[in-house]
Amino acid sequence: MTWLWLVGRVVFGVYFILDGILHFTRFESTKQYAAYKGIPVPGFSVAVTGLLLLAGGLSILTGYWVQPLLILLAIFLVAAAVWVHNFWTVEDAQGKATEMAHFTKNIALASAALMMLAISQWSWTTF
């Protein structure tokens, strides 16, 4: 079972790292989207959340500061689901479906982050 834990941990961590990188490589479009969604100080918000995603992913991979960063990731994911991917406010059917997919993805990722808090051993060879 150890290899399953390691594969899942790597995939989960890399997901957040890649998402964090995208916050910066697509900074202008992400900032515009955040502004469109009414996020205050969109440029700053995109930068901070990009750093949070990078730090969270690296934490999952390395095992450092895992618990506080998993909590921050879960809070961010739920907040983004509610305030950014609020599908219930979208009139267009395709836009509503897209936002609902992002909403449910964020809730599922937040749930996985919370479940990972139950892991007490974060070495590469345990579990």
Q: What is the pLDDT of residues 69-105, one digit of tens each?
A: 999 999 999 999 999 999 999 999 999 999 999 999 9
Tell whether pTM > 0.85.
yes
Cα–Cα distance measured from residue 53 to residue 14, given in angstroms and rounded to the nearest whole number: 10
Question: What integer pLDDT is reported at residue 6 of this predicted model?
Answer: 86
Q: Which own/partner pairs from 117-126 qualify as long-range (CB within 8 Å, at least 24 positions apart)?
A: 117/67, 117/70, 117/71, 122/63, 122/66, 123/63, 124/6, 124/63, 125/2, 126/2, 126/5
Q: What is the DSSP string of 14-32?
A: HHHHHHHHHHHHTHHHHHH
36 closest CA partner among 85, 76, 78, 88: 85
Of the chain, the percentage scoring pLDDT greater than 90 comes to 83
pLDDT at 124 over 70: no
